[in-house]
Amino acid sequence: MSTVEIDGSDFIGKLELLAEKYDSIGKSLEDPEVFSDLRKYTGLARERARLEDIVTRYRRYVEVKSEIESSLEVLATEQDEDMRALFEEELKALRNEEQELEHQLARDLIPKDPNDDKSVICEIRSGTGGEEAALFAGDLFRMYGRYAESKGWKVEILSSNPTDLGGFKEVIFAIEGDRAYGRLKYEGGVHRVQRIPATESSGRLHTSTATVAVLPEAEEVDVVIDPKDIRVDTFCASGHGGQGVNTTYSAVRLTHLPTGLQVSCQDERSQIQNRERAMRVLRSRLKALMEEEQTQEITEARRSQVGTGERSEKIRTYNFPQSRVTDHRIGYTTHRLQQILDGGLDEIIDVLAFNDEQARLAGVTG
């Protein structure tokens, strides 16, 4: 573990403010007016519980630094060799504990993404490359499905537009599970594939793309949608769907009038089910839009995530001839292409998460 470089005064100042906040909340919870307001009491209790481990670590850190100073003072005057050896051993253990606490406290100060614990709405669309791009979109969908299965997460297709060869022009699906967004948020962007397509008779290498958008799934309490702001259109489903797919008005298109956002779902035979699924997607898109409007940084991040599907706007390349996967954001390359496509994404996600943490850690301790 590398040493964390800490700006002492700023580091201690931030932790002291958290400790003061923790104590202040504790006093507020004893106030009869707060106790009688269930919503306020619950919110404060939840915030105090979130701070408890951090404050406990900080106060232990202060104790350790004090004990180190005391040990150094004793060593400066102690003449007995046996006692000196005892204090030196104690000092070594205290310095190790000090370093561990500094690492953990620095991570505690990294701003947490409030969406990390949420489930995910994932949208994959074929980009440049025609039918081969649609096949690649299907490969990505299966990759995320297998990754979710390895984590014990649940996958539910919300909307799809499959092709005759087994690919997807578009597929929208939900992944429900612990910290699903926290792991999959790094997957948003343009993915590029280099291979000889099954549709290519001359054996020529093709380059195709698919776009992946990863949204934290919004709950009803996150985004309140006025029914008057929604226009609902129904139509006959088309494409794959089995008997009766073109004979009933089961497909649903929702239009959010204030923003113009549209979502269509037609996979289910029931109009009610399609409407419910469309609302889940619409709610998540509206949440993302609201966040984009809050800060320009989020807006730029969202634009770079979705892109236009052009070959040059890539975050990752899957090269079949060399069995190579390269993530261009961090310059990471692995030659375990098949394992990655079979859902072994932790290898790449772990590196992306580590780099993200180090960048944010530098902001906290620099």
Query: Tens of pLDDT along 42-83?
Result: 889 988 998 999 999 999 999 999 999 999 999 999 888 989
Hey, where are the domains in the chain? 8-108, 115-366
Give the right CATH number for 115-366 from 3.30.460.20, 3.30.70.1660, 3.40.640.10, 1.20.950.20. 3.30.70.1660
Identify which has the larger pLDDT, 137 or 305. Answer: 137
Q: What's the rounded Cα separation, in Å, for the pair 83 and 78?
A: 7
State residue 251 phi and psi, 5-degree precision. Answer: -75, 145
Q: Which amino acid is at 153?
A: W
pLDDT at residue 142, as a whole number: 97
pLDDT higher than 60, residue 39: yes
pLDDT at residue 107, as a whole number: 83
Of 186, 184, 185, 188, the residue nearest 147 (C-alpha): 184
Helix (H/G/I), strand (E/B), else coil: 277: helix
DSSP state of 364: H
pLDDT at residue 140, as a whole number: 97
**Mean pLDDT, the chain, integer:** 84
pLDDT higher than 80, residue 249: no
pLDDT higher than 60, residue 205: yes
State residue 178 phi and psi, 5-degree precision. Answer: -65, 120
Q: Burial level of 196, CB count in 10 A (0-12/13-18/19+)?
A: middle
Identify which has the larger pLDDT, 336 or 219. Answer: 336
Q: How far is CA 87 from CA 67, 78, 101, in A?
A: 11, 9, 21
Q: Contact, 213 vs 285, CB < 8 A? A: no
Q: What is the pLDDT of residues 317-341, one digit of tens each?
A: 999 999 999 999 999 999 999 999 9
pLDDT higher than 60, residue 38: yes
Buried/exposed 212-237: b ≥16 CB within 10 Å, e otherwise: bbbbbbbeeeebebeeeebeeeeeeb
Q: What's the rounded Cα separation, in Å, for the pair 321 and 318?
A: 9
Identify which has the larger pLDDT, 210 or 110. Answer: 210
Percent of the chain residues topping a pLDDT of 90 = 48
pLDDT higher than 80, residue 202: no
Continuous segment of H or E residues that includes residue 313:
none
pLDDT higher than 90, residue 151: yes
Helix, strand, coil percent values for the chain (each to nearest 5): 50, 20, 30
